[in-house]
A and B are shown apart, each in its own frame.
Chain A
Amino acid sequence: GENVEQHPSTLSVQEGDSAVIKCTYSDSASNYFPWYKQELGKRPQLIIDIRSNVGEKKDQRIAVTLNKTAKHFSLHITETQPEDSAVYFCAATPLVGQNFVFGPGTRLSVLP
């Protein structure tokens, strides 16, 4: 089955700097890769996703890149703000609408 690894497990950046979180997956059949953000004490919520026919997707300060050959995808946050502090989970699935396999999460802290 699918296995998703995520690095780093914790990340601290200064406000205004960029943050990058990387995930690798094992199943070459996976073709949908969502990212979820979980603020302290809150539920995970989808922030961005990418499908295997796309190499990069942007939404304001957030972008996701995908390298299918290497089986890895990354979340990029530019101009970080305190409200970006949260745990971020990547996930992979072989088919949109099917079960996700989540990575272990990255705790991002944006320092003032």
Chain B
Amino acid sequence: DADVTQTPRNRITKTGKRIMLECSQTKGHDRMYWYRQDPGLGLRLIYYSFDVKDINKGEISDGYSVSRQAQAKFSLSLESAIPNQTALYFCATGSYNEQFFGPGTRLTVL
């Protein structure tokens, strides 16, 4: 399913580094989301955007920022990465009653 793509797919970085994860979608949806997945904690919402001019904090936004560059693009940044931000990150785009997830980015912060 290439409708939602994420880059990079894997990234290892060091504490204190700035990291950007990128997401693009070709489904034409206005809504885009960033989630973090940790074992036993499910999918937790970091930020979401309902259109290009709309940015909202989710459940766990501290330490993260986002940019909605266009309807199809939504980036997640870690300004100064820390080890407890090691996780699997999913971008998603939403229709009326379904969210379509990207393939995920596995981020490791050493």
Binding site for B on A (CB under 8 A): 6, 9, 32, 34, 42-46, 49, 89, 96-97, 99-105
B97 to A32, Cβ gap below 8 A?
yes
* 9 closest Cβ pairs, A-B complex: A43-B101, A104-B42, A102-B43, A102-B42, A96-B97, A46-B98, A97-B96, A105-B42, A44-B101
Flag B55-83 by CB within 8 Å of A: 1 or 0 each. 00010000000000000000000000000
A34 proximity list for chain B (CB < 8 A)? 97-98
Q: Bound state CA distance, A6 and B42, in angstroms? A: 10
Give the number of chain B interface residues (Cβ < 8 Å).
22
* Number of interchain pairs (Cβ within 8 Å): 45
A101 proximity list for chain B (CB < 8 A)? 45
Known contacts A43-B102, A44-B90, A45-B101: does B43 contact A96 (CB below 8 Å)? no
Binding site for A on B (CB under 8 A): 1, 31, 33, 40-45, 48, 58, 90, 94-99, 101-104
A89 to B42, Cβ gap below 8 A?
yes
Q: Bound state CA distance, A9 and B39, in angstroms? A: 10
Q: Bound state CA distance, A41 and B19, in angstroms? A: 22
Q: Bound state CA distance, A98 and B103, in angstroms? A: 22
A97 to B101, Cβ gap below 8 A?
no
What are 24 pairs between A and B in contact, CB < 8 Å?
A6-B42, A32-B97, A34-B97, A34-B98, A42-B103, A43-B1, A43-B101, A43-B103, A43-B104, A44-B90, A46-B99, A49-B97, A49-B98, A97-B31, A97-B96, A99-B33, A99-B48, A100-B45, A100-B99, A102-B42, A102-B44, A104-B40, A104-B41, A105-B40
